């Protein structure tokens, strides 16, 4: 993918995220691998107003190479892409139901959300809950890297989701599925549920990342 195409993809997906109400105000950020560089949304930008020509450019280690100042959470994206060479894009939002889930007490760090639907199993699979870190605190780097080795979807405690994919569209698909399943979880709380069994999950997740995003 050319640099221009990667930048255009960030603009398109960022605006789509804003249109769908998956973030609010000037929250949320995106990144995409562009050869040896990483393009990331700048600090303080509403995702509905992201411009392809106004993106921050980082090297693979997260050093700022050009463009406006990057989001203070750029290190989240850099950490995930560093340990997941099979993935090329990361989406982070403060989506309502996922953020609400991250605030609940007593969550299982290795399974903070039950696999209630097949599409959650296919598009999200493993979800890990990270301990609380203040937004922008690079001390979270090691925790992000460890969790990303186990799966491509993370939930930052008292914060929101971080999801990677082979491209921004698949990362967004997975993030939306996480948000939808979190909503289903809250709606069904207090009622008996039948999450997918380990066997059914295994049948869904024994596919490549691209195979886990079938058409509806």
Cα separation values, 196 from 8, 126, 187, 204, Å: 37, 13, 17, 10
Question: Distance between CA atoms of 188 and 147, rounded to whole angstroms?
Answer: 27
Number of C-beta neighbours around residue 179 at 10 A: 23
CB 123 within 8 A of CB 58: no
Cα separation values, 194 from 114, 151, 169, 178, Å: 9, 23, 29, 17
Of 104, 85, 206, give the one whose Cα is nearest residue 155. Answer: 104
Strands (E), the chain: 29-34, 37-40, 56-59, 64-66, 89-92, 127-130, 153-156, 160-165
Which residues are part of the catalytic machinery?
73, 119
- Quote the distance between the C-alpha of residue 195 and its chain's center: 23
- Quote the distance between the C-alpha of residue 57 and its chain's center: 19
Tell me the two tokens of residue 185. 């979880």
């Amino acid at each position: 993918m050319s640099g221009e195409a990667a930048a255009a993809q960030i603009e398109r997906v960022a605006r789509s995220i804003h249109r769908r109400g998956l973030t609010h105000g000037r929250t949320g950020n995106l990144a995409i691998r562009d050869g040896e560089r990483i393009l990331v949304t700048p600090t303080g930008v509403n995702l509905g107003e992201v411009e392809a020509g106004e993106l921050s450019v980082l090297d693979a280690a997260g050093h700022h190479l050009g463009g406006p100042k990057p989001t203070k959470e750029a290190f989240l994206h850099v950490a995930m892409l560093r340990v997941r060479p099979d993935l090329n894009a990361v989406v982070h939002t403060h989506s309502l139901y996922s953020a609400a889930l991250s605030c609940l007490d007593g969550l299982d760090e290795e399974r903070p959300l039950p696999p209630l639907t097949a599409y959650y199993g296919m598009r999200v699979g493993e979800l890990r809950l990270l301990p609380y870190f203040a937004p922008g605190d690079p001390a979270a780097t090691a925790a992000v890297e460890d969790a990303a080795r186990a799966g491509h979807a993370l939930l930052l405690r008292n914060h929101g989701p971080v999801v990677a994919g082979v491209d921004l569209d698949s990362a967004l698909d997975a993030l939306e599925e996480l948000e939808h399943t979190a909503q289903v979880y809250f709606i069904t709380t207090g009622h008996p549920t039948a999450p997918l069994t380990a066997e059914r999950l295994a049948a869904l997740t024994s596919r490549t990342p691209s195979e886990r995003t079938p058409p509806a």
